[in-house]
Amino acid sequence: MKRNFKKMLAMSLACGAVFALSAPSVDASYMLNPEVKDATPALLEASEIGVLKYENPKMQNLPNKDAILVMSFGTTFKDSREKTIEATVKAIQAAHPNVKVELAFTSHIIVDRIKAKEGLDIPTPEAALQQLKKDGYTRIALCSLDVIPGMEYAYDKAIFNEYKGNFKKMTLGTSLIYWQGQEEQRDDVESALKALSTQFPAVADDEAILVMAHGTPHPANAYYAVIQDGINKMQLKNTFIYTVEGWPSLEDIIPELKAKGIKSVTLMPMMMVAGDHANNDMAGDDPDSHKSVLMKAGFKVNTYIHGLGENKAIRSLFVERANESWDMLEAK
């Protein structure tokens, strides 16, 4: 019997909230029970999921001057940055030709390194929003180029919560993979895997595809188990996901490969860019690289060193996420 998710969540929250969803809503949230008369800011913030929205009651008389701010972790690999992050930003700009679209990197270290190496000023989200405020923009649609809602997306949410009061209206879109098909929500895992699989090579019975994700100490690392389950349900042959900095690791996957009689593997990153992790951790020649570890274990290894942003189908999904944030900004 299908459990009633709405009732479960309502019962689990002592605050008396109920879960209200619409199909296929992008701004689902806990709708506070009418009995909750004086909801605290903390309770209201905890109830927010999906595309976030804030309207500043003190600024509703200001004229609308809108901008889209795209947030990405960033990379110092210039060639990959152009083919992935910048290509995605251009696609978002093409979908909104009359709107100012700005890019910010959430990695302050990468911002500093690019400045030192290339003389290029890519702002942090904080600096970008401060400049937009200075330039008179009053409504901001924040967009994320994160794959899952892990630590980097938590930073995106922190930016939203810190700066939303400085603008007339602000929205924040979701990561590439967010909804998992719960209740009447869409299944981002399935759509992302369909897009990702467009770059998969055909595999024989003794061949496999190893998809390298980042991994995170954040509880959102659990998404990788859901993604592997999606891979299995979609019958993507001999395909396994593993992580650089989380679970499962490559060492967790190797016994499965041997048990299935796999002789040859193709490594590919499930990351926005093909940066340090893809070029060095995954495909480098050092003895502890994933390629070297697999070769030492007796596997033939091929590498596919391209970030997700090079995949047109993936870029289209990121444009959809940006559109959702923009549509929420425009909604009355």
Hey, which residues are catalytic here? 214
Q: Please give the span between the terminal C-alpha atoms of the chain, in angstroms, as a whole number.
A: 39
Give, in order, the Cα–Cα distances in Å from 222 to each of 201, 218, 241, 327.
Answer: 27, 9, 12, 29
State how beta strands 17-20 and 29-32 pair: antiparallel
Handedness of CA 50, 318, 177, 190 (dihedral sign): positive
The percent helix, strand, coil of the chain (3-state, each to 5) is 45, 20, 40
Q: Which residues contact 193 (CB under 8 A, 6 or more apart)?
A: 227, 230, 231, 234, 236
Between CA 260 and CA 87 the distance in angstroms is: 38
